[in-house]
Chains A and B, each alone.
Chain A
Amino acid sequence: MATTLGSKLENKTILSAAKVSFTYDPQPGDKSAVEWTFRDLSLQVREAEIVCIVGASGCGKTTLLNVIAGLLKPQSGSITIASAENRGRAIGYIFQQDALLPWRTVRANLALAEELRGGVFKRGSKERLARYMDTFNLKEQILDQFPAQLSGGMRQRVSIIQSLMFDPQLLLLDEPFSALDFYTKLRLESEFCRLVKEQRKAAILVTHDLDEAVAMANRVYIMDLNGNLSHEFEIDLQQNDGSVEAARGTPQFAQYYSAIWSELKSVIAN
């Protein structure tokens, strides 16, 4: 136990959100009447760590990701994100459905980082691409295909690689595997876990799927209907190979699952 604690402390903090409050209310002047999506929310994510957020639909999970991604401005609080050297602020954001440019081949889609940022992204981009293609078990032939020619799982893999080409330290995933069939989902979950451990990324994964959360996460949060991260569960069933199937097979899996599920049920019922 002491060794895991020790290595955790060495891991750099990638995301630090402190007392962040957000509301869609355009004029939050009258404090008492404001309907906050979340208030004074704090969250830290370290490298090589997957944090899962589960919660009822509409509780504010997507909003939280959008605020972290800088798409929405919080009314108060601070968000700090570490980034790789010379790379500027880079965040990967994966949605339930891919956001690939359908008129571009996979290759041209993956060249977006170079195209948008130029310079530093050219160097070593071939090697990085090859490495990620390998992590996600993609064959080189698909590079010349259009997104419409690929299966949902392939497109989602390409989306993840497209984001990785920007060299982000932080990956945000909003129910990324929920549209996939069961087998594809399992494989992608494992591949993603492997990526996070090997490349030492930090990831926040929003999911409806408790099973997925328990198998993949280092920590699971329940977001309640007021937008609070009301319950925290330290998990880490991940062995070094990143296999979610192995994680699902451990005796602790069922324990965590039922513990989180009973809390989640009571949170949603309220």
Chain B
Amino acid sequence: MSMLYPLPAIVLLIAWYIFTASDPKRQFVFSSPQKVFDTLVHLLSSGALVRDAATTTFEALAGFILGTTSGALIGLTFWYSRTVAKIAQPYISALASVPIFAIAPMIIVWFGIGVMSKIMLAFLSTVVVAIVQSYQGSMSVEPRILKLMQVLGASRNQVFRIVVVPSSLIWVINAMKLNIGLALLGAFIGEFISSEQGLGYMIVKASGLYDMATVLVGVFTLICIALFLTMIVGKLEAWLLRWKHA
């Protein structure tokens, strides 16, 4: 069964090869498996791909960690006060509804064209999801457990620490899953608009030169990074939620 997973990819690759083989015009627009492979080898040996991939991964990961942890902290502490949560809600909704593309130029002006502005963009893309998810998590604790904790005389801080935080972990992990893609998008948009390195920079520059092979190498690398980070979160989830599958 699992042997069949690569099948669609192989079919696509063969189709692409047949479609572009011995037709330079098509190769110019769609590149070809051979060209992409050659470019990959070239970019790897020159070190350019590793540098650009590392830059983008670093920006996205730093923004992801900052955004997810601070968002989770904010969202969970809203549990203490419904009033504060209510007041914050329209602001969070406003921030959530702004396309990250719209504020990217401003962030670049404020934080410069280096990695800092990309980290900020990844941070802003992820923090809202983390706040919303973890607040919802803190509000959906099993009522029976809260009732018991009250009978047993637990203080508010004890309930928060012993029940609310661990019970919201599922929600925080869900936020993480969503945030991997958002963090990469944030970093990428920043690079796309203005930068000196990173996969966004590499793709913008190559597409300006109609170098489709390099563009495709960039896209595949982004996909690989996203899959890799998703896998790490999956491992983290399996470990943190081991009681569920036990």
Q: Do A and B come from one complex?
A: yes
- Asked whether A149 is an interface residue with its Cβ less than 8 Å from the other chain, the reply is yes
> CB distance A116 to B153 under 8 Å?
yes
Interface size on A, residues (CB 8 A): 28
- Asked whether B151 is an interface residue with its Cβ less than 8 Å from the other chain, the reply is yes
- Chain B residues with CB under 8 Å of A116's CB are 152-154, 158, 162
> CB distance A99 to B145 under 8 Å?
yes
> CB distance A101 to B150 under 8 Å?
no
**Given the contacts A101-B166, A102-B244, A95 and B144 also touching, CB distance less than 8 Å:** yes
Q: Please name the residue on chain B nearest to A100 by beta carbon.
A: B145
Expressed in whole angstroms, the minimum distance between the Cβ of A265 and any Cβ of chain B is 32
> CB distance B244 to A101 under 8 Å?
no
- Asked whether B148 is an interface residue with its Cβ less than 8 Å from the other chain, the reply is yes
A69 to B167, CA, bound (A): 24
B156-182 interface mask toward A, CB cutoff 8 Å, 1 = contact, 0 = none? 001000110011010000000000000
**Given the contacts A97-B144, A149-B246, A103 and B153 also touching, CB distance less than 8 Å:** no
- List residues of A (155-209) whose CB comes within 8 Å of B's CBs: 163, 166
- Asked whether B25 is an interface residue with its Cβ less than 8 Å from the other chain, the reply is no
Interface SS of chain B? helix
> CB distance A146 to B246 under 8 Å?
yes
A211 to B145, CA, bound (A): 29
Spell out B's residues near A (CB within 8 Å).
142, 144-145, 147-148, 150-154, 158, 162-163, 166-167, 169, 241-244, 246
Spell out A's residues near B (CB within 8 Å).
69-71, 88-91, 93, 95, 97, 99, 101-105, 112-113, 115-117, 145-149, 163, 166
11 A–B contacts from the bound complex (CB under 8 Å): A71-B147, A90-B153, A95-B148, A102-B243, A103-B167, A116-B152, A116-B162, A146-B246, A147-B243, A148-B244, A149-B246
Known: A90-B153, A102-B244. 9 other contacts (CB 8 A): A99-B148, A101-B162, A101-B163, A104-B166, A112-B162, A116-B153, A116-B158, A148-B243, A149-B246
